[in-house]
């Protein structure tokens, strides 16, 4: 089997390292930050969307962001790309491999490995229905009589789909939808095929592989079929291969689950290079809606540093909704309900998941993050812009690599027409911008789009120069005695720079004692965001509503 794995990952014409990479902090730096986007988030009806994306990146984000995650850019049949019908082609409605290559020449590129399931209308499943080898054993089958009560589901649709094959009636496993048929990794040929697909992506300039929905990879009847040991074993194998690859390859796992389950995908430093920091979106949203950062602080205080050779990916907004499962055990139920009701008040939606007892529970909130922060628990006010910028600045300040959804960078409003037109809640956060109209908005400094783009880009450009913001730089959560201010202390790997990152999550000006920061008196201190000198001997520091401060020693 080992020789088959090696041949799949290193076909003729490729080479591997003699020794695996030593675990360290050199795969990323403070210069790294990421844009998350669909290949067709920007359109004009005349040019290839990937060409427009390339122009947008070079025109507006060059020097601010280093990486781009292009969500599934393959031919597909549903779920906005996550029901892939051909893993080896670029969706011709977006462009072709040459367009992907062009973007990868200027930005670190992340692609999706949608390895849990494929489209029911794709070649693989059609071959399965016809009994053609090897695809006749590619899909996970079960029986309606099996005990499936404990299976963890992110959806409310029936788990099994009845299909007619050349071998008779079968029931195939569908974790997500009946157009997304789960693969059977008990068959080694499935794994080998995905190793070949990873190689194809790498050969086309991809440096970061996102393992989509990987927690559901291995199934066992009578079990929850999530986070099973075999899933972790497959990730360890992929990590080993990536560490022996001549190219730089980073594995990122997408596991929208509570904290302990999510952290398990670091393994012992031998699984994912990076994991999403999924509790951040609901916790940051709650802090800024409530004006109270206590739950964010408590959670952050209990977060371990990433293992050597690993990192967190920090974000608030993504193509999916704001997941509520990661808030389990962190936000009290009454606080979660306040967030849900406030999102509903601004026109957001709530998607549910099925529970083993037959009930339902909120799975995610469907809204743009920009619109979600248009009001607080107390109602609307005049601080929308400042509150939103504060939310994104927290992402920039924490240990890890910051990532920003394109609709956060562009202050996109909820797309209610998209929900009606496409018949799915998540369409509210998947607007497609007309490029000429967007360029016009970005050229007017008074528009929300121009203001948010300017402020976030400016802070990212400041951030990339600070060693204390290396993804693995030391971090301590600071207790400032006032829950309206969320603060962390960062120190560079060489210990030369310290940054006290302070974020007022409330509508009130807040004064904190300077002694709480323990600024060294014989050093000069400056707020990097305003250029204001900070007196280490002062009694107090006052922070305006939703203001952020990056107080650094002068180097």
- pLDDT averaged over consecutive 10-residue blocks of the chain (555 residues)? 91 88 92 98 97 98 97 96 96 97 96 97 97 97 95 90 96 97 98 97 97 97 96 98 95 90 95 96 98 97 95 96 90 95 95 79 93 97 98 98 98 97 94 98 98 98 98 96 96 97 98 89 92 89 97 89
Give the pLDDT of residue 154. 84
Give the pLDDT of residue 206. 97
Give the pLDDT of residue 34. 98
How many angstroms separate the CA atoms of 335 and 330, rounded? 10
**Residue 129 assigned ligand-binding role:** no
Task: Answer left, alpha or beta for residue 519, where phi above 0 means left and psi between -120 and 50 means alpha.
Answer: beta
**Residue 211 assigned ligand-binding role:** yes
Give the pLDDT of residue 358. 75
Q: How large is the angle between the packed helices 2-9 and 188-203, nearest 10 degrees?
A: 30
**Residue 325 assigned ligand-binding role:** no
From the list 212, 243, 483, 527, the catalytic residue is 212
Exposed/middle/buried for residue 86 (C-beta within 10 Å: 0-12, 13-18, 19+): middle
**Residue 459 assigned ligand-binding role:** no
Do 499 and 65 form a contact (C-beta atoms < 8 A)? Answer: no
**Residue 319 assigned ligand-binding role:** yes
Exposed/middle/buried for residue 44 (C-beta within 10 Å: 0-12, 13-18, 19+): middle
**Residue 117 assigned ligand-binding role:** yes
Neighbours of 260 (CB within 10 A): 8
Do 124 and 115 form a contact (C-beta atoms < 8 A)? Answer: no
Give the pLDDT of residue 399. 98
Pick the CATH number of 474-552 from 3.30.1330.120, 2.70.70.10, 2.60.40.1180, 1.20.1050.10: 2.60.40.1180
Alpha-carbon distances of 195 from 191, 202, 270, rounded to whole Å? 6, 11, 18
Give the pLDDT of residue 514. 87
Tens digits of residue pLDDT in 295-320: 999 999 999 999 999 999 999 999 99
Does the annotation mark 212 as catalytic?
yes
Instruction: Give just the sign of the alpha carbon dihedral 65, 66, 69, 74.
Output: positive
**Residue 212 assigned ligand-binding role:** yes
Give the pLDDT of residue 462. 98
Q: Residue ranges of the domains in the chain?
A: 123-180, 474-552
Burial 362-378 (b: 16+ CB within 10 A, else e): bbbbbbbbbbbbbbbee
Give the pLDDT of residue 65. 97
């Amino acid at each position: 089997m080992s020789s088959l794995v090696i041949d799949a990952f290193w076909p003729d014409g490729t080479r591997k390292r003699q020794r695996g990479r030593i675990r360290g902090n050199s795969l990323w730096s403070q210069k790294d930050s990421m844009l998350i986007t669909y290949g067709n988030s920007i359109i004009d009806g005349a040019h290839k969307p990937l060409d427009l994306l390339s122009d947008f990146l070079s025109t507006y984000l060059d020097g601010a962001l280093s990486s781009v995650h292009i969500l599934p850019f393959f031919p597909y049949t549903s779920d906005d790309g996550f029901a892939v019908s051909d893993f080896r082609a670029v969706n011709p409605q977006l462009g072709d491999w040459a367009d992907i290559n062009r973007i990868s020449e200027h930005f670190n590129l992340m692609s999706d490995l949608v390895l849990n399931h494929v489209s029911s209308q794709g070649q693989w499943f059609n071959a399965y229905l016809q009994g053609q080898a090897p695809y006749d054993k590619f899909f996970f089958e079960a029986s309606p009589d099996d005990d499936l009560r404990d299976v963890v589901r992110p959806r409310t649709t029936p788990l099994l789909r009845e299909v007619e094959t050349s071998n008779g009636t079968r029931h195939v496993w569908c974790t997500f939808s009946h157009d997304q048929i789960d693969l059977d990794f008990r068959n080694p040929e499935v794994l080998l095929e995905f190793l070949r697909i990873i190689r194809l992506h790498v050969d086309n300039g991809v440096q970061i592989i996102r393992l989509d929905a990987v927690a559901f990879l291995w199934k066992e009847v009578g079990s929850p079929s999530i986070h099973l040991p075999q899933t972790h074993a497959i990730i360890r194998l992929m990590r080993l291969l990536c560490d022996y690859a001549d190219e730089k390859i980073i594995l990122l796992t997408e596991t929208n689950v509570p904290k302990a389950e999510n952290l398990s995908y670091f393994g012992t430093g031998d699984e994912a290079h990076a994991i999403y920091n999924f509790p951040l979106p609901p916790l940051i949203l709650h802090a800024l809606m409530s004006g109270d950062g206590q739950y964010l602080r408590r959670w952050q205080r209990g977060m371990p540093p990433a293992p050597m050779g690993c990192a967190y990916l920090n974000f608030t907004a993504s193509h999916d909704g704001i997941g509520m499962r990661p808030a389990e055990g962190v936000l009290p139920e009454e606080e979660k309900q306040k967030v849900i009701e406030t999102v509903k008040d601004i026109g957001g939606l709530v998607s549910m998941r099925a529970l083993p007892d037959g009930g339902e529970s909120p799975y995610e909130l469907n809204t743009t993050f920009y619109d979600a922060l248009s009001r607080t628990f107390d109602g609307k006010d005049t601080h929308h812009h400042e509150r939103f910028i504060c939310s994104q600045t927290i992402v920039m300040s924490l240990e890890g690599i910051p990532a920003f959804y394109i609709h956060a960078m562009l202050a996109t409003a909820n797309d209610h027409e998209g929900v009606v037109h496409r018949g799915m809640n998540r369409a509210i956060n998947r607007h497609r911008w007309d490029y000429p109209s967007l360029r016009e908005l970005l050229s007017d400094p008074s528009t929300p789009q121009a203001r948010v783009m300017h402020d976030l880009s400016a802070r990212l450009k400041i951030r990339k120069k600070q060693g204390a913001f290396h993804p693995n730089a030391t971090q301590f959560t600071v207790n400032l005695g006032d829950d309206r201010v969320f603060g962390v202390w960062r120190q560079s790997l060489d210990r030369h720079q310290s940054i006290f990152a302070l974020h007022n999550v409330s509508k009130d000006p807040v004064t904190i004692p300077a002694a709480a920061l323990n600024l060294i008196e014989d050093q000069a201190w400056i707020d990097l965001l305003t250029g204001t000198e900070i007196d280490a001997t002062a009694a107090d520091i006052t922070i305006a509503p939703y203001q952020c401060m990056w107080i650094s020693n002068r180097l």
